[in-house]
Structure 1
Amino acid sequence: MIGDAQPLLNQRVVIVGGTSGMGMGAARAASQAGAEVIALGRRPSAKLSAEQSAHGSITFQSLDMTDDAAVEQAFETLGALDHLLITATPPSPGGTFLFQTMADAQAVLSGKFLGSWSCARHAAPKMRKGGSITFTTGGLVTRPRMGASMMMVAFAALEALTRALALELGPIRVNTIRPGVIDSEMWAGMPQTKREAFFALVRERFPAGRVGKVDDIGKAALFLMTNDFVTGAILEVSGGETLVSIE
């Protein structure tokens, strides 16, 4: 049935972070489901072009989600939309707690938490009936890692905001995807031999027996956009990461 094959037909999906990685996987999934997709990201739009498919289309635009005025202008220009997905995690200073400055800590919170807040804040008034907002966090929320305390705080804050906004913005639905280890560009900074060894350990220990793919996040995003009885939920897509140790 055409309705089953294209559950997002004639709908507009905006994905912040949709120009690469997990966001790109979600953009393709939404496009294949029939949506008009606008993928926003830090990459200059001149390096990207509209992508047409038999089902929908993807248009790429530049946006720095840490610039609240730019975010507001972007959503004013875009107008009405049906679904918002935010996968972007702007670069942020790492380092252990005792060696971070106040500026470092603020940069992390501003980049991930307040950037996501800004996108949701300016998109919500433009949402059509049946709309949804989906954030993304990470396994740090349940499995802390050395040198990432502020990112864990940002993720936890987003998950708390998810539940608060599900109440405040209803019937707009608000959910969060919590990815596990996903083979995407986020690992590009890790030396190849170290990355391959880590992925081998994941395949050995995770119950799913493999490393996650960006398409796994796309499928999760599509589920949250199309199931109109899911709100205030944290959907873990981790292959069972929280059930095992990979230390």
Structure 2
Amino acid sequence: MNGDEQSLSNQRVVIVGGTSGMGMGAARAACQAGADVIALGRRPSARMVAEQRVHGSITFQSLDMTDDTAVEQMFETLGTLDHLLITATPPSPGGPFLSQTMANAQAVLHGKLLGSWSCARHAAPRMPKGGSITFTAGGLVTKPRMGASMMMVAFAGLEALTRALALELGPIRVNTIRPGVIDSEMWAGMPQAKRAAFFALVRQRFPAGRVGKIDDIGKAALFLMANDFVTGAVIEVSGGETLVSIE
């Protein structure tokens, strides 16, 4: 595929979660492809200001996607858009299944699954035929991990929603990216030494021989926005994580 085929010139891209991590990688990719990019996130930071200086066509705004009223108002204000990408994963309580409360479980589903649903619901009526909506899930769907049962359910729900909406919203296209281990802010809570050891194990065992970068997700997102014959698909960007064990 050449550069012209991936051009997003004169198109408007909204990225929920675009103020950091994988969303920031996608915002950069879309900007470089010529799009007008609106990056939405819960907490604007100094890093966003720096990105604004480098990528003048990225506009940063605050949004909590767990607030359906705020989401509706944001998309009313933004108006028409061509592509929507949702990378945000609001903080939510995990932990062992038998230690969870109903409130904990609902918080996970409300944050990731229903938050993504809300963004898609309010964006779709403002999108043209051939526009795209892209969700992000995770490798938990195929490789469960202790203490993350509800997040796995949320990811699986998004992949199922992808197929349902591809039918219901067509010719608007709906897809999901399933990232693997990506070196981003999501690992900030892990002690540095432990994180370094984990990343070393990833480089040793993953077929790709390295840890993922946020720009890897950006490239996948750009492909799904630009290729108008891909819908109802789950694109795994994991370096082969699901093929090996890293326990």
* TM-score grouping bracket, smaller chain normalisation: over 0.9
Following superposition, the deviation at residue 188 of structure 1 comes to 0.2
Q: Give the partner amino acid of 1:127.
A: M
Determine the C-alpha separation between the residues in 2 that align with 1:34 and 1:18: 16
Q: Tell me which residue corresponds to 2:52.
A: 51
Q: Tell me which residue corresponds to 1:143.
A: 143
How many pairs align? 245
Determine the C-alpha separation between the residues in 1 that align with 2:20 and 2:240: 25
The two structures have a TM-score, normalised by structure 2, of 0.96
Following superposition, the deviation at residue 129 of structure 1 comes to 2.7
Following superposition, the deviation at residue 153 of structure 1 comes to 0.2
Map of 1:154-233 to 2, 5 A cutoff? Answer: 154-233=154-233
Q: Cα gap change, 1:11/1:148 in structure 2, threshold over 3 Å: closer, same or farther? A: same
Q: Secondary structure at the match of 2:40?
A: strand
Q: Give the partner amino acid of 2:82.
A: D
Following superposition, the deviation at residue 91 of structure 1 comes to 0.1
**Over 3 Å off, 4+ runs:** 44-50
* Offset from partner CA, 1:18-60 (integer Å, 9 cap, x none): 0000000000000000000000000147874472568x61000
Structure 2, unpaired ranges of 5+: none
Determine the C-alpha separation between the residues in 2 that align with 1:176 and 1:81: 18
Q: What is the identity percentage for the equivalent residue pairs of Structure 1 and Structure 2?
A: 86
Following superposition, the deviation at residue 138 of structure 1 comes to 0.3
Q: Tell me which residue corresponds to 2:17.
A: 17
Q: Tell me which residue corresponds to 2:38.
A: 38
Q: Give the partner amino acid of 1:180.
A: G
Q: Cα gap change, 1:45/1:76 in structure 2, threshold over 3 Å: closer, same or farther? A: farther
* Offset from partner CA, 1:129-178 (integer Å, 9 cap, x none): 32000000000000000000000000000000000000000000000000
Q: Give the partner amino acid of 1:176.
A: T
Q: Tell me which residue corresponds to 2:87.
A: 87
Identify the range of structure 1 (42-51 vs 141-150) with the bigger mean alpha-carbon deviation.
Answer: 42-51
Determine the C-alpha separation between the residues in 2 that align with 1:66 and 1:214: 23
Determine the C-alpha separation between the residues in 1 that align with 2:130 and 2:41: 25
The two structures have a TM-score, normalised by structure 1, of 0.96
